[in-house]
Amino acid sequence: MDDDSLIDNYEHVSSQVFYTCQNLPGPGIDKNLFQSQLCVRCDCVNFCDGACKCLSSTSKNYTMDGRLLEEKLSQISPSVIECNSLCSCSEKCGNRLVQYGPTANLEVFPHHKKGNSLRTLKLLKKGDYICEYAGEVISKCEAKLRIKNACDTMNYIFVLKEYCGESSIIETFVDPTCIGNIGRYINHSCLPNSAIVPVRFDSLVPHLAVFATCDILPGREITLDYSGGENSDYNGVKPCYCGESNCKKFIPFDRDLL
């Protein structure tokens, strides 16, 4: 799969933000990581089945209807490997989804308290892929520096933590503040209707794929839990305007970045 295969027709509402369809290497990141190729590849003919090497750790990732399996959504540290450009299977293989770009009929709209927000104009079913949360992939040191210099402005940095064993954690920091895609307009909610799942298909760098965790009706705002399910600190300075009954009043932040 190359960049030309990804279809993303969205654009930013502000000319001050550069649109990128996928993650780009930022300060503190080895650009070779983006050029690295996953070792896994399959020799399947046309469509993949249980013998697919890309599915060695799981029987499948997606349903026949192209939705993420429910058990993947409910896992504490889910991870998905899609078939990639080295695989022999068809481009219509059921294990290829995120790599083809965001869903259609997403709309950025102004919210009276939150600023710009993102909503769907069509019904999204539970497990449907929405879009990627893409931007600059930066180092932890750079993330700390940006948060320190941000002052009272909005912090868009998402911290992805992947747990590998009992003590090993892989951290990925994505900042779409100045360089990002449609996903940057997804606001926080204490009762979100979507979640981020790391998806890999060509390079080692994970794609922060946003999937619906419940049915989302047309016209409804798409929301995320900015803590990523972690026990983040909610005693912050950015008020939360989600309006949910369980609202913690403040948007969570990772104290490791202070």
Q: Tell me which residue range forms the domain holding 193.
A: 3-257
In the predicted structure, residue 230 carries a pLDDT above the cut 70: no
The verdict on pTM exceeding 0.75 is yes
| Strands of 129-132's sheet in order across | 80-81, 194-200, 207-212, 129-132
Using H for helix, E for strand and C for coil, what is the string for 129-180?
EEEECCEEEECHHHHHHHHHHHCCCCCCCEEEEEEECCCEEEEEEEEEEEEE
* Cα 183–chain centre separation: 8
Max avg pLDDT among 12-21, 166-175, 235-244: 12-21
Q: What are phi and psi of 118, to 5 degrees?
A: -125, 135
Question: How much is the average pLDDT of 183-187?
Answer: 96
- Number of domains observed in the structure of the chain: 1
User: What CA–CA distance (Å, rounded) separates 22 from 227?
Assistant: 22
SS (H, E, C) 52-93: CHHHCCCCCCECCCCCECHHHHHCCCCCEECCCCCCCECCCC
Please give the DSSP secondary-structure letter assigned to residue 105.
-
Say which CATH number the domain at 35 has: 2.170.270.10
Residue 68 CB neighbour total at 10 angstroms: 25
For residue 181 the two structure tokens come to 């895609």
pLDDT, tens digit, for every residue of 52-85?
889 876 778 999 899 999 988 887 767 799 999 9
Would the pLDDT of 130 be above 80?
A: yes
What is the C-alpha to C-alpha distance for residues 13 and 11, in angstroms, rounded to an integer? 7
Q: Could you report the per-residue pLDDT of 9-43, keeping only the tens digit for each? A: 999 998 999 999 999 999 999 999 898 888 888 99
* 8-state DSSP, 102: P
CA dist 70 to 67, 80, 126, Å?
9, 13, 8
What pLDDT is recorded for position 50? Answer: 74
Name the more confident of 186 and 166: 186
Q: What does the mean pLDDT of the chain come to? A: 89
